[in-house]
Amino acid sequence: MPELPEVEVVRAGLAPAVTGARIVAVDVHDDRALTRHPRGAADFTTTLTGRRITGAARRGKFLWLPLDAASGTDVPAAIVGHLGMSGQLLLREPGAPAERHERIRLDIDHPVHGELAVVFADQRTFGSLAVDALAPTADGAAGGYGTEAALVPTQVAHIARDPLDPAFAEAAFRARLGRSASAIKRVLLDQGVVSGIGNIYADEALWAARIHPETPASALSARTVTRLLAEVRAVLQKALAEGGTSFDAQYVNVNGQAGYFAHSLNAYGRTGEPCPRCGRPIVRVSFTNRSSHYCAHCQKRR
């Protein structure tokens, strides 16, 4: 599933192409891509046609494209996208052939770049687009990356800020860990506590911080939490620099290019391979319908 770096790469790629563009046509090929838009395809199409996109923003794994004000309403709105497990948002030339697994196409006209198509393709159909109202943020800070407005889609309001967000409340995060007996990896994957990390980057950050994934969060010292946060940020920033992680053709940027962070992984997906730090084999254990990868020597359970 795309995590923070992958979604941020997509957002950053979309931003210059869509900001200021007018939506001239909307084609919904598969209603399953509108599961978060309860009013259906006809409403999605009529609501968006003629509207202007004013930016591209992200919080955690959600991204949204704020819209200009519609006539007759004072409620700000945005196109909200969630990539699910295999969703892709691609930029294509106008009239380009349909993508494999294409679900929705937005034809746009940009004042500088001219006509383009924004294509939402999704093999497994777990992702979605929707038009959603924007509401004030609970903390009064900007809604997320790519926007200065203190607004966030109602569908995203429950998602916590991510560790790279300038408004991330580090003190509150530390306090939450101190009250939790849950395994630290479980806490890192809780989008209500901290967003955008996901399974891959949780394993990588815990390996870098030398923390066993089953360590109770409340058992971590203040110094260890500081080290963990530093490693989480370092892992996310490195993945961003390398375009995200691609294990197959499902994750690509807006131009269809893969990310290269898979070549930099130290623990995730390296079962049986030598730990880059100590040489012992990386182990894999079952974890809530997924897997955890770690070094049993470097990451001893305390």
Q: Which residues are catalytic?
A: 2-3, 61, 290
124 is in an annotated binding site: yes
Please answer whether residues 155 and 62 qualify as being in contact, where contact means their C-beta atoms are separated by less than 8 angstroms: yes
* DSSP state letters, 181-249: -SBHHHHHT-TTTS-S-HHHHHHHHHHHHT--TTSBGGGS-HHHHHHHHHHHHHHHHHHHHTT-B-SST
Asked if 36 contacts 44 with a C-beta cutoff of 8 angstroms, the reply is no
Alpha helices in the chain (DSSP H): 4-18, 40-48, 170-178, 184-188, 198-209, 222-241
Residue 101 is assigned to a ligand binding site? yes
Strand segments (E) across 17-145: 22-28, 57-59, 62-66, 77-82, 87-92, 102-110, 114-122, 128-136
Burial pattern 172-190, b for ≥16 Cβ within 10 A else e, equals: ebeebbeebebbbbbbbbb
What is the rounded CA–CA span in Å between residue 65 and residue 47? 14
Q: Residues 268, 199: contact at Cβ < 8 Å?
A: yes
- Rounded to whole angstroms, the Cα distance separating 133 from 116 reads 25
- Eight-state DSSP code of residue 115: E
> How far, in whole angstroms, is CA 5 from its chain's centroid?
7
Task: Give the tokens for residue 134.
Answer: 């924007």
Binding site membership for DNA: which residues? 101, 124
